[in-house]
Amino acid sequence: MVFFTGVEGFFTPASSFGLMAGNRIPATPVTSRKPANIVAPTMVDIKVQVKEGEPIEGAMRRFKIAVSKSGHLMELKRRRRFESNNEKKIRKDKEAKRKRSQMRRQRQM
């Protein structure tokens, strides 16, 4: 069965448009919106090996550092609310500035 987008994005069978097996199907389906670019979330897999005789506080500290370096918490905080195009531009400019300063500091060492 062939489906086309009808009024306000609802999918309706092609037969309701008068497009039965003998009729000709139009070249482009009727659609009112763009297809969404959906990106699958990546899995967070951060592992910390606890060494023999190491206190749990030390392992927790290393885990916190690994999580902060991965950037997942920053991403979660950023996605808590909608970000407009202007806010996205400002954020990306700040990230680029931070990255440039880190590269500059690494070259000086």
Top pLDDT among 61 and 74 is at 61
Spatial neighbors of 72 by CB under 8 A, at least 6 apart, are 44
Query: What letters, b where the CB count within 10 A reaches 16 and e where it falls short, cover 79-106?
Result: eeeeeeeeeeeeeeeeeeeeeeeeeeee
Q: State the burial class of residue 6 (Cβ atoms within 10 Å of its Cβ: 0-12, 13-18, 19+).
A: middle
> Do 12 and 31 contact (CB within 8 A), yes or no?
no
pLDDT of residue 93: 96
Mean pLDDT of the region 72-86: 87
* Across 32-54, average pLDDT: 73
Average pLDDT over the chain, rounded to whole? 75
What are the boundaries of each domain within the chain?
A: 1-33, 56-108
pLDDT of residue 97: 96
Cα(100)–Cα(103) distance, integer angstroms: 5
In this prediction, residue 3 carries a pLDDT of: 42
What's the Rg (C-alpha) of the chain? 26
The pLDDT value given to residue 8 = 47
Contact 45, 67 (CB under 8 A): no
Q: What is the pLDDT of residue 86?
A: 95
% of the chain beyond a pLDDT of 90: 34
What mean pLDDT comes out for the span 61-83? 87
pTM of structure: 0.42
